[in-house]
């Protein structure tokens, strides 16, 4: 019996997801702001057959949680712009999805859409967008257009705090509009709009460019895009979600939703909540939503050694590392076994967060991936030429496409 393909993503962030990772011997803290460092990480992932990498970003310096901003001197602070970095990587490393994080809260959706389209052109069809909102007041202060009160997502989980819940709905409603604008703009040029006919002097067919005419609560966008339709038509949209409102955003607009189960029971609960969200909101994307699980990964030769390595990092940090995702500190074989259990439970893929870079990335690619390969879980179409094809999504139809007169005549003749 053949197994459904199981997809693998790697979440890249600084020196790794543990805040003390930059202090271990294998880290490269001096290279964190060099493009070559990031290219080397993606080359490692691509060579192992990883489907995509994501690149973290935000509208402010890194901080912990959603409380008061703290400029700690013992953690990595500062990063390269994810979208610009993604374009650099994409030009050098072919055949792997490059999915930068771009925040919707303070970014004009037109700029986001054209930036992701440009990445799709540069990568020749391997672009994606990890959608993120900004609920941090210090990030809003960088832009100065609005004030955002202190946000504590934990207080919104039950819906008891009406003010917090309203803010969450506002931020994610704006994100939904931003994705809708992007998707319309990505379609605003038909595939054959660019003619380049020197004898007639026609570079484009004006009839194949379309206004998107979006009107929403937060912005209006006329269109069309300034970028011609890109190889995928619709780059892959990834949303990380933890509760009701983000689940609704993912169900309505995402291609992939990232979830963070901490146990089999928790996974079942999340899948149920996603199912409930499907009953409440209308899906605006033709392909079914793909569910990916997330985990922080630290790998050693034995489970005891992995626990000791995690404890050593925690000691350097001065406190146990806490994550929204489960922390898998274990052997490569045991990590692979957990991923396969998720697959059997209905999860379509995983996005793994290496605790230490490049160390745990290499232990994923050289330890976990071979184990998964042996099961056939990572079988892929050999001729996939875009990220959409690699992940098994259907070709993206253009909502504005119109039939040429000769095409209409053929259709009419066939119906006689």
Q: Tokens for 344?
A: 């059997």
List Cβ neighbours of 188 (8 Å cut-off, separation of 6 or more). Answer: 209, 210, 211, 212, 223, 224, 225, 229, 400
d(CA 392, CA 381): 9
Phi, psi (degrees; rounded to nearest 5) at 40:
-65, -35
User: Could you tell me if 54 and 12 are in contact, meaning their C-beta atoms sit under 8 angstroms apart?
Assistant: yes
d(CA 17, CA 76): 10
User: Could you tell me if 321 and 18 are in contact, meaning their C-beta atoms sit under 8 angstroms apart?
Assistant: yes
What is the CB neighbour count within 10 angstroms for residue 405? 8
User: Could you tell me if 358 and 28 are in contact, meaning their C-beta atoms sit under 8 angstroms apart?
Assistant: yes
d(CA 121, CA 87): 9
SS3 per residue for 100-147: EEEECCCCCHHHHHHHHHHHHHHCCCCEEEEEECCCCHHHHHHHCCCC
User: Could you tell me if 318 and 353 are in contact, meaning their C-beta atoms sit under 8 angstroms apart?
Assistant: no
Q: Tokens for 230?
A: 């890109």
Q: Output b/e per residue, 114-153; b: 16+ Cβ within 10 A.
A: bbbbbbbbbbbbbbbbbbbbbbbbbbbeeeeeeebeebeb
List Cβ neighbours of 167 (8 Å cut-off, separation of 6 or more). Answer: 135, 148, 149, 151
Bond prior to 359 in cis (omega within 30° of 0)? no
d(CA 240, CA 270): 13
Whether residue 63 is annotated as binding a ligand: the answer is no
User: Could you tell me if 354 and 13 are in contact, meaning their C-beta atoms sit under 8 angstroms apart?
Assistant: no
DSSP structural state of residue 318: T
Whether residue 57 is annotated as binding a ligand: the answer is yes
Could you list the residues known to form a binding site for FMN, using ranges: 57, 101
**Residues of the binding site:** 57, 101
């Amino acid at each position: 019996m053949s197994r459904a393909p199981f997809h693998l993503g790697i979440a890249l962030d600084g020196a790794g997801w543990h805040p003390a990772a930059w202090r271990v011997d294998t880290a490269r803290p001096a290279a964190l702001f060099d493009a070559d460092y990031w290219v080397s990480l993606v080359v490692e992932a691509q060579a192992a057959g990883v489907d995509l990498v994501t690149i973290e970003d935000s509208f402010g310096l890194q901080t912990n949680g959603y409380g008061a901003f703290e400029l700690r001197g013992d953690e990595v602070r500062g990063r390269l712009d994810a979208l610009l970095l993604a374009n650099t990587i994409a030009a050098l490393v072919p055949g792997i999805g490059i999915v930068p994080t771009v925040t919707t809260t303070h970014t004009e959706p037109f700029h986001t859409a054209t930036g992701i389209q440009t990445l799709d052109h540069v990568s020749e069809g391997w672009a994606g967008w990890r959608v993120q909102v900004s609920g941090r007041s210090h990030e809003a202060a960088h832009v100065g257009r609005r004030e955002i009160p202190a946000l504590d997502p934990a207080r919104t989980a039950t819906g008891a705090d009406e003010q917090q819940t309203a803010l969450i709905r506002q931020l994610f409603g704006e994100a939904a509009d931003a994705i809708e604008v992007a998707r319309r703009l990505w379609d605003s040029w038909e595939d054959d709009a660019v003619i380049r006919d020197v004898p007639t002097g026609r570079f484009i067919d004006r009839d194949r460019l379309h206004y998107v005419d979006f009107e929403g609560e937060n912005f209006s966008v006329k269109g069309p895009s300034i970028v011609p339709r890109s190889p995928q038509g619709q780059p892959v949209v990834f949303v990380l979600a933890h509760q009701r409102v983000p689940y609704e955003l993912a169900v309505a607009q995402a291609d992939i939703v990232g979830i963070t189960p901490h146990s089999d029971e928790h996974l079942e609960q999340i899948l149920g909540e996603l199912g409930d969200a499907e009953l409440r909101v209308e899906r605006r994307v033709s392909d079914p939503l793909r569910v990916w699980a997330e985990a922080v990964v630290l790998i050693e030769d034995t489970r005891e050694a992995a626990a000791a390595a995690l404890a050593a990092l925690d000691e350097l940090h001065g406190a146990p590392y806490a994550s929204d995702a489960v922390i898998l500190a274990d052997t490569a074989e045991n990590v692979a076994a957990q991923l396969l259990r998720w697959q059997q439970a209905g999860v379509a893929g995983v996005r793994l967060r290496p605790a230490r870079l490049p160390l745990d990335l290499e232990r994923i690619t050289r330890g976990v991936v071979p184990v998964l390969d042996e099961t056939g879980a990572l079988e892929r179409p050999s001729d996939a030429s875009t990220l959409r094809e690699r992940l098994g999504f259907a070709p993206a139809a253009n909502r504005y496409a119109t039939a040429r007169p000769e095409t209409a005549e053929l259709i009419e003749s066939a119906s006689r």
